[in-house]
Amino acid sequence: MNTSLPELILKHGREDSVIRRHPWIFSGAIHRVEGTLAAGDTVRVRDAQGRPLGLAAWSPASQIRARMWTFDVDAVIDDDFFRRRIVVAAALRATLFDETETNAYRLLASEADLLPGVIVDRYADVIVCQFLSAGAERWRETILQALHERFPSSIFYERSDGEAREKEGLPVRVGVIGDQEPDFPCTVRENRLLFAVDPETGHKTGFYLDQRENRALLGRSVRDAEVLNCFSYTGGFAVHALAGGAAHVTDVDVSAEALRLARRNIELNALDHARYTQQAADVFHYLRRCRDEGKQFDAIVLDPPKFAASKSQVDKAARGYKDINLLAMKLLRPGGLLFTFSCSGHMPLPLFQKIVADAALDARRDARVLHVMTQAGDHPIALPIPESWYLKGLVCRVE
In DSSP terms, 127 is beta-bridged to 122, 156
In DSSP terms, 258 is beta-bridged to none
* Contact indicator for 228, 340 with CB cutoff of 8 Å: no
Backbone angles phi and psi of 199, in degrees to 5: -65, -20
- Read out DSSP for 62-111? SSEEEEEEES-TT---SHHHHHHHHHHHHHHHHHH--TTT--EEEEEEGG
Q: No. of H helices and E strands in the chain? A: 11, 20
Catalytic entry in 129, 186, 290, 343: 343
A 10 A CB-CB count for 23 gives: 24
Q: How many CA atoms lie within 13 A of 119 on its CB side?
A: 20
User: What's 173's DSSP letter?
Assistant: E
CA–CA separation, 108 and 397 (whole Å)? 35
* Contact indicator for 40, 139 with CB cutoff of 8 Å: yes
* Contact indicator for 134, 170 with CB cutoff of 8 Å: yes
| 3-state SS class at 375 | coil
Please give the single-letter amino acid code of residue 257.
E
Spell out a b/e string for 256-290, using b for 16 or more CB atoms within 10 Å of the CB, else e: eebbebbbbbbeeeebeeebbebbeeebeebbeeb
- Give catalytic status of residue 396 as yes or no: no
Catalytic residues: 343
